[in-house]
Structure 1
């Protein structure tokens, strides 16, 4: 039985760990060739070796700073050179630099905006340039429920993730007639190394606010990305899917 993205060539930024690695795993399990892109090249290569051995899929790891246009362009071109096409691009790379408005430095504001918003824009720009010519392709952008609700202490992150929604809708309108779909995913509280570093009482309080009364898993986010990357969502573009257990609905 073929997978949902059998024979497709895909890129996942921030793919060496956490949600990005879970997305890469789901794509590989469903027949895709996968390029895991990460600012840490050694970690990307190690993750690619792990996924390849686990799934039998063709997986490579690339070092890439998503805030560099040359680096993002090179990642897109390398994918085509290695795999012959670029069918799926997932903009997942992200960082946090939390602080109140009063205490946040301008450099921390700019760092988060650059990785999340500029990095996503560059990914959309260079992936779509290839996909437009092919007449098909799927781009999935990672937003966050904090881009919908706003989180105290995350004015940079919340602003960037809200911006990803606007970018997604704008790009979807520009690219639909060329056969390229662009959608976004908004995860809520997901169990990752970052969230599990939170004080237990804070984590428990946030879980209690979720109608489903639990945090999600990276694999649950990855399942939604797989749906958007596959032909199951062939008539879906410009959509924003919340993966948050009902939080903020």
Structure 2
């Protein structure tokens, strides 16, 4: 039983992996044996900090700047990822942005950027590696959604729409992947202490914390183990699921 979470011999890619939930997943995967590469967008300082931190433990981490909403940038990054890793067995789509705005204040540019990073980015990165997983008859795609995909929230219509799209994408793609042992699942965290959460208004965060049965926001190290479960052989029977470590914010 002790080996079912082992990722030895697996190559993983984590987008949005320089900080927050993505960085916590990258660290946990690396410490459990995965050869890893991280994509980030203009976040060299945090990416370097993560790389140095893992290097002190004897782990090698490659980091690459990439806007996952940009098709050409993803194509270029794909070539570099494959050159460095050889193949990608596990993709974690964690790249995301935040920002609360009343619906009437959301511009078309705001809407397009929010869906671009979250939903288009998930599509583009998954598309880059999914066919090879299918050919090899093994793969894991883990998409980071949000409990707000189910619950919604004032001031976050664009964010909630993007995350709900990720849940639907996950369910649909799982039908295509599962017959080839490519398991596609999602994680819908509750509010977690990250830069994204801290970027929301004080009023919004106070309102959200008051709603949580546990009475506090989560920590990134409380989310990452769910990704390890889904990436490992322990998660081999999960198909099209959205697991929700959310402090009771949504109870399904």
Range of TM-score over shorter length = over 0.9
Give the Cα–Cα distance (whole angstroms) in 2 for the partners of residues 181 and 13 of structure 1: 18
**SS of the residue aligned with 1:138?**
strand
Task: Map residues 1-249 of structure 1 onto 2, 5 A cutoff.
Answer: 4-40=6-42, 42-43=44-45, 45-198=47-200, 202-249=204-251
Offset, 1:213: 2.1
Distance in 2, matches of 1:235 and 1:74, equals: 33
Quick check: 1:38–1:44 contact (8 Å CA) kept in 2?
Answer: no
Superposed displacement of residue 118, structure 1: 0.4
How many angstroms does 1:16 deviate by?
Answer: 0.9
State the Cα RMSD in Å: 1.9
- Structure 1 residue 206, shift from structure 2 partner: 2.3
TM-score by length of 1: 0.92
C-alpha separation in 2, matches of 1:10 and 1:26: 11
Q: 1:39 to 1:200 in 2, by over 3 A?
A: closer
Paired residues in the alignment total 249
Distance 1:218 1:210 in 2: 17
For residues 138 and 176 of structure 1, the distance between their equivalents in structure 2, rounded to whole angstroms, comes to: 10
**Aligned equivalents of 2:204 and 2:73: distance in 1?**
38
Query: Is the CA contact 2:15–2:38 (under 8 Å) kept in the aligned structure 1?
Result: yes
Contact 1:41 1:61 in 2 (8 A): no
Structure 2 SS opposite 1:182? strand
Q: Aligned partners of 2:34, 2:172: CA distance in 1, in Å?
A: 27
Q: Is the CA contact 1:44–1:63 (under 8 Å) kept in the aligned structure 2?
A: no
1:200-244 CA deviation, whole Å, 9 max, x = no partner?
Answer: 665344223222222111111111111111110111110001110
Alpha-carbon distance in structure 2 between the residues aligned to 1:117 and 1:198: 20
Using the alignment, how far apart are the partners of 1:72 and 1:31 within structure 2?
26
Deviation at 1:99, TM superposition (A): 1.3
SS in structure 2 at match of 1:7: coil
Tell me, in whole angstroms, the C-alpha distance in 2 between the residues paired with 1:44 and 1:33: 19
